[in-house]
Amino acid sequence: MKIKLIPGDSAGTVTAFYMNFDTDNLRDELDFEFLGNMSGQPYTVQTNLYAHGKGDREQRVNLWFDPSATFHTYSILWNHHHVVFSVDDVPIRVYKNNEVRGIPYPKSQPMGVYSTLWEADDWATRGGLEKIDWSKAPFYAYYTTFDIEGCSVPGPAACASNPINWWEAPAYQELDALQARRYKWVRMNHLIYDYCSNKSRYPVPPPECYAGI
């Protein structure tokens, strides 16, 4: 999806682009959440992942450009090997399939695609210190050029495991050398929060944090 975010003072807002399957007791979800900012401050994108009902896997990256000035591309690659969140083809997060180690991975349920824009000034900007300035309302984000490829539901049950699906090919099972360099650059220069490093929240890091995710 190409998205142009809210310009100016967007503090307290969250613009979201995400995939979701939600039942009463088993939620899978892949999130882009764009956290509003005060004018002139960096825009932060938060990614999150739910697998088999378990979430709380937030990571935050400060974007290295003004995402309200023009459209940028935000994409999710989801296959049996990993989930890759990318911005303009630059990977900002990778969550690997480590089911062999007993770590949940979202692969058994279909997901729909959603977009929302909502008020979250109790937490979205500087931990809730900056509130929405309603005099700036209405707030607009713009979406265009949506593209999706995958297995449709309802559809052939064998589609998801079909080896001819391009997204399951060897080239998409891990980052290539250029993607790996870009991913390292983002993690070193723009990552501002990783749940794996939050000792007050997780005195013992979750098992996927030890698995190199």
- The confidence score (pLDDT) of residue 176 equals 96
3-state secondary structure of 78: strand
Which residues touch 206 (CB under 8 Å, ≥6 apart)?
57, 195, 196
| Catalytic site residue from 33, 99, 130, 174 | 33
| Catalytic site residue from 29, 99, 130, 174 | 29
Q: Tally helices (H) and strands (E) across the chain.
A: 2, 11
3-state secondary structure of 183: helix
Give the pair of three-digit tokens for residue 88: 């303009």
- The confidence score (pLDDT) of residue 164 equals 87
- 20: buried, middle or exposed (CB in 10 Å: 19+, 13-18, 0-12)? middle
pLDDT-derived band at 210, boundaries 50, 70, 90: confident
Q: What is the pLDDT of residues 84-124, one digit of tens each?
A: 999 999 999 999 999 999 999 998 889 999 999 999 999 98
Is-catalytic flag, 33? yes
Q: Where do the structural domains in the chain lie, given as residue ranges?
A: 2-210
- CATH class, domain 2-210, is mainly beta
Is-catalytic flag, 29? yes
Instruction: Please say if the pLDDT value at position 143 is more than 90.
Output: yes
Whole-number Å distance between alpha carbons of 155 and 177: 35
Instruction: Please say if the pLDDT value at position 45 is more than 90.
Output: yes
Whole-number Å distance between alpha carbons of 46 and 153: 28
Q: Chain-wide mean pLDDT for the chain? A: 93
pLDDT-derived band at 161, boundaries 50, 70, 90: confident
More confident residue, 46 or 212: 46
**Mean predicted confidence (pLDDT) in 73-84:** 96
Instruction: Please say if the pLDDT value at position 162 is more than 90.
Output: no
Instruction: Please say if the pLDDT value at position 35 is more than 60.
Output: yes
Record the pTM.
0.95
